[in-house]
């Protein structure tokens, strides 16, 4: 089976484990859509085990993304148990979090539960500035946890950095900082502010043209939306 065929049959899945998230990013759909603010439910262990079976049953082993659009995955009450199951079943996974609302000890336990998991931390700008978009986040605490992750994980943690007006001048500095502490650096150029056309979001739009993304739902502009990772 060639690479193209493998991708066709690979059973990857992106999970929203709950409706729990203490971070109030202004352009997150949890803040902009009333439907998203309705309380959902936590994924049950039985349902998670069904997903595990689905991912494992294909001709090519799949991948689980603990990301979500309506929640931060680490706030599911059984999240560490889910990680342990993935480790026991040799399932690759990625955790995307921007929450600093767990203790350092909790994070270390999570890292140890699945050392081969890939962790991505949303810190937008210098750690002390990240709360300007990631409302309620303690960016400095989360940065220290990201650095701590390098001691326990077999993969390099990823520093995810959405470019905004307040942090666009710090991109190169933070990229170098990420590499210095043993992390990858993922720069995200988002078109949310320009797509939603809400005046209060103007303060978030970068002034540097290379960091702008103007989509407006046409195909050519969508191609300007770029997420890329610098090694």
Over the stretch 167-187, which tens digit does the pLDDT of each residue have? 999 999 999 999 999 999 999
pLDDT value for 194? 61
Q: Of the candidates 4, 2, 25, which has an alpha carbon nearest to the alpha carbon of residue 139?
A: 25
Instruction: Decide if pLDDT at 217 tops 50.
Output: no
CATH no. for residue 63?
A: 3.20.20.70
Rounded Cα gap, residues 140 and 147, in angstroms: 11
pLDDT-wise least confident of 84-88, 139-143, 177-181, 195-199: 195-199
Q: Of the candidates 102, 132, 107, 127, which has an alpha carbon nearest to the alpha carbon of residue 117?
A: 107
Band of pLDDT at residue 83, cut at 50, 70 and 90: very high
pLDDT-wise least confident of 48-52, 177-181, 185-189, 208-212: 208-212
Band of pLDDT at residue 223, cut at 50, 70 and 90: very low
| Alpha helices for 150-226 (secondary structure H) | 171-180, 192-196, 219-222
What percent of the chain lies above the pLDDT cut of 90?
64
pLDDT-wise least confident of 47-56, 83-92, 186-195: 186-195
Rounded Cα gap, residues 105 and 152, in angstroms: 12
pLDDT-wise least confident of 71-80, 100-109, 148-157, 196-205: 196-205
List pLDDT tens digits, range 95-150.
999 999 999 999 999 999 999 999 999 999 999 999 999 999 999 999 999 999 99
Residue 57 belongs to what domain range?
Answer: 3-230
pLDDT value for 59? 77
Q: Of the candidates 110, 69, 104, 102, which has an alpha carbon nearest to the alpha carbon of residue 86?
A: 110
- Helix axis angle for 79-88 and 104-113, nearest 10°, is 20
Please give the tally of structural domains in the chain: 1
State the average pLDDT for the chain.
86
Band of pLDDT at residue 210, cut at 50, 70 and 90: confident
Band of pLDDT at residue 192, cut at 50, 70 and 90: low
Cα four-point dihedral sign 46, 52, 56, 57: positive
Instruction: Decide if pLDDT at 213 tops 80.
Output: no
Q: Which residues contact 123 (CB under 8 A, 6 or more apart)?
A: 98, 130, 134, 139, 142, 143, 146, 159, 160, 161
């Amino acid at each position: 089976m060639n690479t193209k065929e493998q991708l066709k049959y690979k059973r990857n899945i992106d999970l929203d484990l709950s409706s729990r998230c203490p971070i109030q990013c202004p352009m997150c759909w949890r803040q902009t859509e009333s439907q998203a603010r309705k309380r959902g439910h936590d994924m049950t262990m039985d349902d998670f085990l069904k997903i595990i079976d689905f991912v494992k049953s294909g001709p090519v082993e799949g991948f689980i993304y603990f990301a979500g659009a309506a929640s931060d995955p680490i706030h599911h009450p059984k999240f560490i148990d889910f990680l342990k199951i993935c480790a026991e079943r040799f399932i690759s996974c990625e955790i995307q979090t921007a929450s600093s609302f767990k203790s350092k000890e909790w994070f270390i336990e999570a890292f140890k539960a699945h050392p081969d998991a890939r962790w991505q931390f949303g810190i937008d700008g210098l750690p002390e500035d990240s709360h300007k978009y990631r409302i309620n986040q303690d960016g400095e605490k989360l940065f220290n946890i990201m650095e701590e992750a390098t001691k326990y994980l077999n993969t390099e943690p990823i520093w995810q950095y959405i470019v905004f007006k307040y942090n666009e001048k710090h991109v190169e500095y933070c990229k170098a900082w990420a590499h210095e502490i043993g992390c990858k650096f993922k720069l995200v150029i988002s078109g949310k502010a320009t797509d939603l056309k809400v005046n209060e979001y103007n303060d978030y739009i970068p002034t540097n043209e290379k960091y702008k993304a103007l989509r407006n739902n046409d195909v050519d502009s969508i191609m300007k939306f770029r997420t890329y990772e610098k090694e």
